[in-house]
Amino acid sequence: MQTKHELIPEPIGLDVDTLPRPLNFSELYGNANPVELEIGMGKGTFLTEQAKCRPQVNFFGIEWQRWYWRYASDRLRRNGCTNARTVRAEASFVLQEFVPADSIAVLHIYFPDPWPKARHHKRRLIQEKFMPVVHRVLAPGGRLQVVTDHKGYWEENIGPAVRAAGGFQVVDYNRPGSAGEGEFVGTNFERKYAREGRPFYAIAAVKRTNPGQSICW
Ligand SMILES: C[S@@+](CC[C@H](N)C(=O)[O-])C[C@H]1O[C@@H](n2cnc3c(N)ncnc32)[C@H](O)[C@@H]1O
């Protein structure tokens, strides 16, 4: 893909091969602010808006496609988002190998790839086996937020996996402040699909602080 300017991912974009395992977020950002993580940030619209308007929060983006990772990292750099870091890698791998337990305040997944062909459904990120991975990295009381346009993915995987996951309580979906009027989150894919008139499906769940405990918001 082409851009009018050169894409410079550094210093926002990190090289996964040189990262410590586990990551030390306080050292990485130079502060102990809460960390929010987005999987599959694409062009980085959500991450950039959030990092700009919430400097007291650290943002970490994971994107496995090289061009999108470079584009989003360069965009964050040009916007002066010193509270953001990104890595080009597969998200489950990063969560399991690099992200410390109980370290993430909010995990955002917006318009995850639906892998529509039946023989590819096993590649879908959000399914039963993914939820313990999410549970491990979320801080107690931390939140998972998911939005999709894909009815099949929603009905077959996302809804059932999130509702059935142990150690979570399903709560109201929180519309980020950076979302435009009528938007769920305000990403490129949401805007494209909204123009096509597609319906959207959203869910949020919070990691219980103690087994069996209810969370009041
Ligand atoms: C449909 S796009 C949505 C992009 C953005 N969230 C938006 O709403 O505009 C999904 C993005 O997630 C990335 N992605 C999908 N699965 C991934 C995985 N397992 N690890 C890292 N990135 C992934 C894709 O490369 C793609 O950029």
Per-residue pLDDT of the chain (217 residues), as tens digits, is: 777 789 999 999 999 999 999 999 999 999 999 999 999 999 999 999 999 999 999 999 999 999 999 999 999 999 999 999 999 999 999 999 999 999 999 999 999 999 999 999 999 999 999 999 999 999 999 999 999 999 999 999 999 999 999 999 999 999 999 899 999 999 999 999 999 999 999 999 999 987 555 554 4
With a Cβ cut-off of 6 Å, ligand 1 is lined by 39-42, 62-65, 68, 90-91, 110-113, 125, 187-190
- C-alpha 124/C-alpha 114 separation (Å) is 6
Q: Which of 74, 113, 149, 172 is catalytic?
A: 113
Q: In what order do the strands lie in the sheet with 58-62?
A: 13-14, 84-87, 58-62, 35-39, 104-110, 138-148, 201-207, 168-171
Q: What is the pTM of this model?
A: 0.95
